[in-house]
Amino acid sequence: MTTTRKTTKPQKKAITHRAPSKAQAKKIIEAGAKRVTEDDIKKVHDKADEIKKQFSEGSQLSKYIEEAKLLLGIVNDYWNGSYRKIPFFSLAAIVVTLLYVLNPLDLIPDFIPFFGQLDDMAVFGVCLLLVTHDLHEYKVWKESQPKKKK
């Protein structure tokens, strides 16, 4: 007796437009931070203006503009050698996060209205949690520096 197998086509997974969970965002940051190089730090330094634009008014990320400026400041001051009191993992987490925000084709592509920046916001928020202490230390250091004359 011959039996026939009923074959079914694999079902396609529905595309969901949800931000990654806190744990998923943390994994994205931690995995990326392990691979950060000096070239990545330089890229963030060189593309600071493009990164700032991601936080411009009208963007869902605009509420994070002050924090973004602080993160970019850390990268800039690290790159120019004036601030090195940050653990490399924290610097790498910041670099990964800023490059993630800059990339329009990340987990949820940025061109998808409203949903496109949900993952950026999740990753950025988790990064802030991971580097809170280092951000505070940097801010204290930055405020103690003499102001540059314009």
CA 81 from centroid of its chain's CA atoms? 22
The better pLDDT of the pair 108, 48 is held by: 48
CA distances 9 to 6, 12, 13, 15, 130, Å, are: 10, 9, 12, 18, 43
Share of the chain above pLDDT 90, in %: 55
| Residues 41-63, mean pLDDT to the nearest whole number | 89
* pLDDT category of residue 102 using cuts at 50, 70 and 90: confident
Structure tokens at 76: 């800039």
Mean pLDDT across the chain: 84
pLDDT of residue 58: 77
